[in-house]
């Protein structure tokens, strides 16, 4: 009886070792730890890195700014407006309005001027 119990324990230890070994080799992703540095955003806020690639998170308004840039590049913008705090609004030809914070003052104006040449039409521009 004692001999059977010892053999059973040895088999369980071997099976557990095989299971953990296969789990590590096949699907065991090691945990990701990103550095704790931060990036200052144009609006003064900070963002950190996010897993799994440890890239910086998007700054507030960054995704919206990219949407405005894309709309301008696609000749979809009818008018743009910028404020002193770098808040910008773009009214699209379909009536939709996009809002964001431009990275640098007048970025929206430079994009609109370039798009007028590319798109062959006038984009109304306003600033305060």
pLDDT at 77: 96
Helix and strand numbers (H, E) in the chain are 3, 7
User: Could you tell me which residue, 115 or 11, shows the higher pLDDT?
Assistant: 115
User: Which CATH number does 62-127 carry?
Assistant: 3.30.720.210
C-alpha span between 72 and 23 (Å, rounded): 50
Question: Which pTM does this prediction carry?
Answer: 0.61
User: Could you tell me which residue, 1 or 68, shows the higher pLDDT?
Assistant: 68
pLDDT tens-place string over residues 24-59: 666 656 778 888 899 998 778 899 999 888 999 988
pLDDT at 27: 60
Q: How far is CA 100 from CA 17, 70, 71, 97, in A?
A: 55, 13, 13, 10
Per-residue confidence at 6, pLDDT binned at 50, 70, 90? confident
pLDDT at residue 3 greater than cutoff 90 = no
DSSP-derived secondary structure letter, 63: H
pLDDT at 8: 66
pLDDT at 26: 65
pLDDT tens-place string over residues 57-108: 988 888 899 999 999 999 999 999 999 988 999 999 999 999 998 889 999 9
For the chain, the domains span 62-127
User: Cβ distance 25 to 37 under 8 Å?
Assistant: no
Q: Which residues pair with 46 in a beta bridge?
A: 40
């Amino acid at each position: 009886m004692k001999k059977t119990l010892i053999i059973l324990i040895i088999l369980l230890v071997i099976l557990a070792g095989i299971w953990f070994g296969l789990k590590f080799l096949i699907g065991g992703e090691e945990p990701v730890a990103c550095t704790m540095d931060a990036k200052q955003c144009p609006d003064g806020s900070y963002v950190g890195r996010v897993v799994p690639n440890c890239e910086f998170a998007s700054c507030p308004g960054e995704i919206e700014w990219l949407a405005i840039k894309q709309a301008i590049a696609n000749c979809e913008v009818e008018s743009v407006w910028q404020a002193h705090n770098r808040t910008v609004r773009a009214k699209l030809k379909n009536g939709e309005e996009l809002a964001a914070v431009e990275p640098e003052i007048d970025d929206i104006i430079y994009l609109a001027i370039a798009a007028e040449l590319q798109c062959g039409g006038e984009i109304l521009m306003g600033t305060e």
